[in-house]
Structure 1
């Protein structure tokens, strides 16, 4: 399934995934106690090319993890048009990491949509469609999945090696699908808070028509996502790079 660039912002804020060998799945335990990133407020600078037009903007994200619960609240603004996305994910934290309960997205000039992980009925439901999927363990939404990757890196660093592959069943606004991520090498990147080393993780595209997603997690910054890039087959892209990190 191809996600358009207009929906790509949500993936940044846009993780129960566990890093294991490629023959295994993400729902397996990484450690006895998941080591989630500490709470923080993150600000990102955005640069993009959409239909040949260069755009800039910013995004703010509030990540909270405390007392067995987590929440992710984000807001994205683009030059000229203003706020284009609000999103929120919340749920529990267990030994495997994040366990989403609800995910809400409000996009520019559209009604808000809610994805619900009904743990009593073991079903994923969508306000924007009649589609449902069974909950088998390890499912994520597009907001939580990146933070689950960071949790994996912190909980089992010895397994977070270049060449490793992880997979998860990820729910969007109307449906869900299996995603795979490949862990790459550490790279030196430039950010608004200085140069830093960050491990590149890329979503594996099923076909050459799928959107490509690359993200960089910085070990020196609690494995926060410090850069993420969404690339379309037609050359359009959106890149978000950290400009400020504040711990509450």
Structure 2
């Protein structure tokens, strides 16, 4: 058999290719098993109910700055027991006793008026039905001066006038009417119609009203107030101050009304404690000119 002649260079090339193929086969056999794709395994997953899943993740919130220190809280006051009534502010009940007035009497006074001497008579007639009549008449010699007449009701506050009038010849000259229902005071000599204060008096009834006020609270150095309406449409609060006792007062309480103005003639009254503080002496203005003064002479009861 004839041997083939292979050129040396070609033989080398064939031998190199054979070696490379053999190396590749060996590398394939030694490759790691985990490099080969494996079949997928079944995985069991527990699904949370929808309520357990947040709707969305909140945005990150920066940490709040530290709060400033606070004073310790005070304990709330204990609530009152259920049976404790709430406190209610109420006015204290009035403790003023009813004013006391003298019984029926006729008081005779010596009169000094216009620089002349005369006589005055004060007639006080309280009635069982709760009404009263008070009348002052004055006379100098045979001449009758204008009289004063007051009628009204009596209550726990003293006298409550209904009508006052100055009279001459048996007829009313000037009158003042006190309307208790409308609480108004009207005047025959003036178109004024004024609101009636509590316990308002006329130009005669204030005598007894002041006596009752002082008797209810005879405080030495005291002060008493009375609203008085005049026949010409005036209504003023009269304020009386107690004066220091003088030897000539003879145990009487001397009161003086505060002046109502620069032309006020003034009023002084002396009350007798032994007779329920009834006026024992009264002076209005100057008795030698246009004023008058009366001094108690006798009492008929």
Q: TM-score, normalised by structure 2?
A: 0.62
In the alignment, which residue of structure 1 is the partner of 2:241? 182
Give SS of 2:190's match.
coil
Where in structure 2 are the equivalents of 1:28-177 lying within 5 Å?
31-48=96-113, 50=114, 54-67=115-128, 68-79=130-141, 82-107=143-168, 112-157=173-218, 160-162=219-221, 164-177=222-235
Whether the aligned pair in 2 keeps the contact of 1:210 and 1:232 (CA below 8 Å) is no
Pick closer, same or farther for the CA change 1:211–1:199 going to 2, 3 Å.
Answer: same
Whether the aligned pair in 2 keeps the contact of 1:122 and 1:134 (CA below 8 Å) is yes
Whether the aligned pair in 1 keeps the contact of 2:214 and 2:224 (CA below 8 Å) is no
User: What is the RMSD computed on CA atoms of the aligned residues?
Assistant: 2.6
Q: TM-score, normalised by structure 1?
A: 0.74
Is 1:207 aligned with 2:261? yes
Give SS of 2:134's match.
strand
Give SS of 1:71's match.
strand
Q: Distance in 2 between matches of 1:122 and 1:233?
A: 36
Pick closer, same or farther for the CA change 1:43–1:105 going to 2, 3 Å.
Answer: same
Pick closer, same or farther for the CA change 1:197–1:78 going to 2, 3 Å.
Answer: same
Give SS of 1:149's match.
helix
Q: Which structure carries more strand by proportion?
A: 1
In the alignment, which residue of structure 1 is the partner of 2:252? 198
Gaps of 5+ in 1: 1-28, 191-195
Pick closer, same or farther for the CA change 1:208–1:135 going to 2, 3 Å.
Answer: closer
Give SS of 1:88's match.
strand
Q: Distance in 1 between matches of 2:112 and 2:158?
A: 31
Pick closer, same or farther for the CA change 1:64–1:111 going to 2, 3 Å.
Answer: closer
Gaps of 5+ in 2: 1-93
Q: Which structure carries more helix by proportion?
A: 2
In the alignment, which residue of structure 2 is the partner of 1:241? 295
Offset, 1:135: 1.4
Higher relative contact order (CA 8 A, sep 6+): 1
Q: Distance in 2 between matches of 1:181 and 1:133?
A: 23
Offset, 1:236: 5.5
In terms of Rg, which structure is larger? 2
